[in-house]
Amino acid sequence: MTDVSIPAGSLRSWAIPADLMRWVVVAAATLAMVAGFGLTATVALMVKPFEAESGWLRADIAFSYTLLCAGAALGGLVAGWANDRLDTRPIVVFGTAVIGAGLVAISRQNDLSLIQTIYLAVGVFGFACLYTPVLATVSLWFDARRGLAMGIVTAGGALGQGILPVLMQPIIAAQGWRFAFAALGLVYLILLAPLMLLLRKPPALPANEAGAPVPPASRAWALPPVAGIAWMSLAALFCCATMAVPLVHLLALFADRGLSDSLGGSLVLIIMLAASVGRIVFGMAADRFGVVAAYAASVLLQTVTLYGFVSVSVVWLYGLAILFGFGFGGVMTTLLLCARATVSAEASGRATSLVTLFAWVGMGVGAYQGGYCFDLSGSYAVSFASAALAGIANLIVISGLWLHLRHSERRRAAQA
C-alpha cells in the first residue's frame, strides 16, 4: 500500500519508482537538515573563542544567533510561498550555496557587527531555503507514515547540531576558527549544494492541477486553519524560547563548570544523538496517538529536564543529556506535524513558514536573553530558569488547544 496516490501515467518520466523516490527525498532532506542546523551550531562554537580573543560580551556574540533566527523567520515566509508555487530544487541549492559563501565570508571578518550582518543575510537567503521548503516538500510525499518520515528528516537537524561541534572543535584548536569556518564553507559549496538536486516534489495530482477541492481528510483538525496556525504559532514562540538557551549556551556553561572541550562536546553530541532518536520516536507516536498528544509529551520532557544542566553534579550530566535530548528532539518534529495538520496539502508551505516564523522569533529571544542574563548575573542560573518558565507557558498553551479540539470532536460526534 502506498502513502500517496500517484497516477501511473505521471511516473513515466521518473527514473526511480515513486515508492523508492519518496525515501530518496527523505534522505536528501535529512542531509539538508544536517547542513542547515549545522550552521546554527557555529554560533555556539564562537562564544568562548570570541570572548577570549576579542573580549566581546556573550550577549553580543549570541545576538548573531538571534539575527540568524530573525533572518530565517523572514526568509522562511518567502521561501514557503515560493515552494508552494515553484520547483524545490533551485531553492535549496541556492540556500546551500549562500550558507557556504557566508561561512567563508565570516572567516575573514574582525568586526562583530559585520559577522552579525552576515549571519542575518545567511538566515534570510540561506537557512530559510533549507528549512520550510524541505519540510513542506517531504510532507507532500507521505500520508499514513508522515510522522515517521518527518521524524527521520528532522533528526538530521539534531545530528548537524551534535556532530559539527565534535568535528570543528579539534580543527579550531589546531588551526584556528578562521580556517575551520572557511573549510566548512567550502564543504557546503562543493559537496552539499549538488546533492540538494535530489529534493523534488511528487508528481502533481490531477485534482490539484484542475483546482478541485481538497478532501476534508487532508486537514486533520476540526478547527479553522487561521485559528490552528495562530495557536501553533504561539506554542512555537514559547517552545523555541525554551530550547534556544541550551542550544547556544551549553558549551559555554560546560566550560564555566570546568569541563574540558572534549567532554563538553561529547555531552552535546549525546544530546543530539538522543534528539535524533526522539524525533523519530515522537514522529511515530504522533502517527499512533495524535500530533497534539505527542507534542505535549515532548514539551513536558524538555521542560522538566532543562534546569538540571545548571544544578546537577557532573556525574549526572550524561543521563540528563539523554533525557533532555530525547524530549527536545520530539518537540521539533511534533510541532511541524501540528502545523501541517492545520491546513490542506496545497497550503503546507505557507502554514509551515508562518508557524516557524514565530519559532525563530522564540529562538532569537531565548538565545539573547540567555547571554544577557549571564552578563548581568555572571551565572546561567537565571537564563535557564527563564527558559524553563517559557516551557511551562508552552504547556499551558498546548493544553488549551488539546481541550478545545477534544470539545470540538465531542460536539461534532453529538451532531452526527
pLDDT for the residue numbered 11: 41
Average pLDDT taken over every residue of the chain: 83
The least confident of 53-62, 94-103, 288-297 is 53-62
pLDDT for the residue numbered 217: 40
Residue with grid cell 502513502, as numbered in its chain: 3
Residues 211, 403: Cα–Cα separation, whole Å: 34
pLDDT for the residue numbered 100: 96
Residue 217 or residue 341, greater confidence: 341
pLDDT digits (tens, 9 = 90+) for 353-370: 788 889 888 988 898 899
Residues 349, 336: Cα–Cα separation, whole Å: 11
pLDDT at 185 over 70: yes
The least confident of 4-18, 108-122, 124-138, 284-298 is 4-18
pLDDT digits (tens, 9 = 90+) for 307-350: 999 888 878 899 999 999 999 989 988 998 888 777 766 666 77
C-beta of residue 398 within 8 angstroms of C-beta of residue 252: no
Residue-wise DSSP of 321-390: HHHHHHHHHHHHHHHHHHHHHTS-GGGHHHHHHHHHHHHHHHHHHHHHHHHHHHHHHSSSHHHHHHHHHH
C-beta of residue 123 within 8 angstroms of C-beta of residue 67: yes
Report which residue type is found at 47: V
Tell me how far CA of residue 212 lies from CA of 215, 271, 314, 346, in angstroms. Answer: 9, 45, 59, 11
pLDDT for the residue numbered 154: 82
Kindly report the pTM of this predicted structure: 0.70
Cell numbers given for 250: 551549553
Q: Of 16-20, 237-241, 260-264, 401-405, give the range with the top mean pLDDT.
A: 237-241
Residues 398, 404: Cα–Cα separation, whole Å: 10
Please list, in sequence order, all residues whose beta carbon lies within 8 angstroms of the beta carbon of residue 217, skipping any fewer than 6 positions away: none
pLDDT for the residue numbered 7: 44
Degrees to nearest 5, angle at CA 52 with 185 and 247: 55
Alpha helices in 143-290 (DSSP H): 146-175, 177-187, 193-195, 206-209, 225-256, 261-289
C-beta of residue 367 within 8 angstroms of C-beta of residue 247: yes
In whole angstroms, what separates CA 134 from the centre of its chain?
Answer: 11
Q: In the chain, what are the domain boundaries?
A: 17-203+218-415
pLDDT at 202 over 90: no
pLDDT digits (tens, 9 = 90+) for 140-152: 887 767 778 888 8
Please list, in sequence order, all residues whose beta carbon lies within 8 angstroms of the beta carbon of residue 195, skipping any fewer than 6 positions away: 28, 31
Fold for 17-203+218-415, please state it.
Growth Hormone; Chain: A; (1.20.1250)
C-beta of residue 193 within 8 angstroms of C-beta of residue 90: no
pLDDT at 386 over 70: yes
**H or E element in which residue 310 lies:** helix 308-311
